[in-house]
Chains A and B, each alone.
Chain A
């Protein structure tokens, strides 16, 4: 069970992210995304914990000097895990622009034009 202020924070972040009004960036971890908010940085990460053999998700708040102000970590099966993983998914979708990508793919597929590109020099494959 997470604190009420964290629940509120997650809900607000989810709302902003779903409206495409939050710019998430990727960090040096494959599944971690960050968001700058004034003087703080919010980080959300999802990983497989090799000790507990369980999937985990977290949300961390860092100040401008990199000190951890607060954070929440939840394992799969815990209360509110789904709430936090939804935020992580939204952050990921926002960063990779997944919805926009699908939209452009569908537009291409629904059009009457030929899709795909032909190589300029077919002979290149034979060399």
Chain B
């Protein structure tokens, strides 16, 4: 409205009396409306861009949270599997223990390649624990197939599993706390 008054004022100031006709008036008004349209479009585009960026950030945050929840669920599962494996080893069900160790390895490798998990995990100790599990799986496989029947130290495997359980429990708590804070 203010702009319209300003344009009207300018029209009467800058245009000679003889040029102040309807056609020139419409031209000036049209120019003003065009400029106004451009300004409105600019603000609309800017607003849409801001909304898009906010939406993108919100989606990224949601995905990050979802990712964390998936990792927490996987870690809880992994800790339960470790308890299971230890029981199978105590009762000398080595072949079942081996199958569950392979399941555990699969979960841990997924966690290892998860970007969100990588930022929070005690990466070095996790990798050491995972490597011990990998070697223990190989040794257990060789033992169950009869390829290397002797010299397998089951108490050492149990110790490795216990260390892994400690690392995973600490990691799980860390993730849960982050979930509660956000």
Contact = CB atoms under 8 A, between A and B. Distances in A.
B33 to A, nearest CB: 66
Contacts, number: 53
Given A41-B131, A65-B109, A27 B151 contact: no
B148 A28 contact: no
Interface in A37-65: 41, 43, 45, 47-48, 50, 60, 62, 65
A30 B153 contact: yes
Interface in A1-45: 27-32, 34, 36, 41, 43, 45
B138 A62 contact: yes
A66 interface: yes
B148 A47 contact: yes
B135 to A, nearest CB: 5
Contact of B135 (A31, A34, A50): A34
Main secondary structure of the interface of A (DSSP, over half): strand
Contact of B150 (A27, A36, A41, A50): A50
Contact of A27 (B109, B135, B149, B154): B135
A43 B156 CA distance: 17
Interface residues of B, number: 21
A119 B12 CA distance: 116
A62 B135 contact: yes
Nearest to B146: A51
B163 to A, nearest CB: 12
Contacts of A65: 109, 134
Interface string B90-115: 00000000000000010001000000
Most buried by B among A30, A31, A47, A66: A66
Interface of A: 27-32, 34, 36, 41, 43, 45, 47-48, 50, 60, 62, 65-66, 68
- A-B complex: 7 closest residue pairs judged by Cβ atoms: A66-B134, A30-B151, A28-B156, A28-B157, A27-B135, A28-B153, A28-B136
29 contacts: A27-B132, A27-B139, A27-B156, A28-B153, A28-B154, A28-B156, A29-B148, A29-B151, A29-B153, A30-B151, A30-B152, A30-B153, A32-B135, A36-B131, A41-B131, A41-B134, A41-B135, A43-B135, A43-B138, A47-B148, A47-B150, A48-B150, A62-B134, A62-B135, A65-B109, A66-B134, A66-B135, A66-B137, A68-B138
